[in-house]
Amino acid sequence: MKEDELIQRLTAGAPANKRLRLGPGDDCAVLDCDAPGLWELFKTDAVVEGVHFEPDADPGLVGRKALARCLSDIAAMGGTPSAALVTLGLPSPPDTARLEALYRGLYALAREYEVAVAGGETVAGAGRLFLSVAALGFVEKERCVLRRGARPGDALFVTGELGGSIAGKHLTFEPRVREARWLTNRFALHAMMDLSDGLASDLPRLLRASGVGAELFAEALPLSRAAKVRFRSGATRKRPLEAALTDGEDYELLFAVASKDAVPLLDAWKEAFPETRLSCIGKITSGGGMTIRERKSVRRMELNGYDHLTQS
């Protein structure tokens, strides 16, 4: 059973109440906290040693990553992060110096984004070190962007570059909070999410939520330097295009806007974020499914993720 399917089974029948505006299935949950004009965003995420970071990874970057993943999800809804709590699972005995370095890295990122770290729990006896972060954020009701809402004809954009994150970016990526706040302030985004499992897994989630399809332009995909270097050096057999589609942990924003906004958006972006690429990678279609237009061929992908991707 795949992760999406398992989560869907487990979250079926999850209790709601009048404060819950959006439950499982988007980047964050959306809650009504009685603040005039604002929704509250609520997210948890965990990193586990040996899965999300290697035992010898810089502990400061591990702490940073645990928080950054949550901030990326809050950014993906258009929100501003406000507070976080950290639960630390410890295999005994704890290595205090390593844990302090881990928290220092987390706190440094929190400070950068003005996020309060409101508390922490430690749980002894975990099989492997894990960090579970719970984060809160706020978003003006009219600027909250969901995964649903993409419309046929919309242009599809992605920030930054894709693929090869394992070479280092998975620990050092910048959550796109500033970029998302800038975007929702200037343009009416129809749908948005962050890329955590790879474009070929994540885009179908946005398409399913919106009830639409998409056509991607292979040549427009922003292939990362890391993906190219890794292929050339033999570190991976994945060609950069496949890496851009299927590597996880890009933590870039994927969003859809009306096609009329595409050119003004690209122009304004270049001025605002001259050092960060923004790429129009395709368009939303009315038909279900997802196609990738390459120079000489068109590939069809199923909407249930890269498990079914035919490797070229």
Beta strands in the chain (DSSP E): 20-22, 29-31, 38-48, 80-90, 116-124, 130-140, 155-159, 191-194, 213-217, 253-257, 278-285, 290-293, 298-301
Residue 123 as a binder of its own copies (CB under 8 A): the answer is: yes
Find the shortest distance in angstroms from Cβ 131 to its own copies: 10
Residues 76, 68: Cα–Cα separation, whole Å: 12
CB 258 within 8 A of CB 154: yes
How many chain residues bind its own copies (CB under 8 A)?
A: 71
CA–CA dist 57, 60 (Å, integer): 9
What letter represents residue 194's amino acid?
Answer: D
User: Which position among 62, 88, 191, 253 is part of the footprint of its own copies (CB under 8 A)?
Assistant: 88
14: contact with its own copies by CB under 8 A: yes
Only segment of 91-99, 140-148, 157-165, 214-222 that touches its own copies (CB under 8 A): 91-99
Cβ pair 30, 76 in contact under 8 A: no
Residues 24-43 contacting its own copies, CB under 8 A: 24-25, 28-29, 31, 33-36, 38, 40, 42-43
168 binds its own copies (CB under 8 A): no
Best CA proximity match to 139, nearest among 43, 253, 31: 31
- Give the range of 54-62, 107-115, 154-162, 264-272 binding its own copies by CB under 8 A: 107-115
Provide the edge-to-edge strand list for the sheet that holds 29-31. Answer: 20-22, 29-31, 38-48, 130-140, 80-90, 116-124
Q: Name residues whose C-beta falls within 8 Å of residue 17's C-beta, 6 or more positions apart in sequence.
A: none
Contact with its own copies (CB under 8 A) among 55, 122, 188, 232: 122
114 is a contact residue toward its own copies (CB under 8 A)? yes
Select from 15, 271, 297, 300 the one that contacts its own copies (CB under 8 A): 15
Question: Is residue 55 close enough to count as binding its own copies by CB under 8 A?
Answer: no
Query: Does 93 sit behind a cis peptide bond, omega within 30 degrees of 0 on the bond before it?
Result: yes
Is residue 263 at the binding interface for its own copies, with CB under 8 A as the rule?
no
Q: Which of 59, 65, 74, 130 binds its own copies (CB under 8 A)?
A: 130
Our finding on whether 205 is near its own copies (CB under 8 A) is: no
- Judged by CB under 8 A, the stretch of 132-140, 146-154, 216-224, 278-286 that binds its own copies is 132-140
Part of the chain binding its own copies (CB under 8 A), chosen from 79-87, 185-193, 230-238, 270-278? 79-87
User: What SS3 class is residue 217?
Assistant: strand
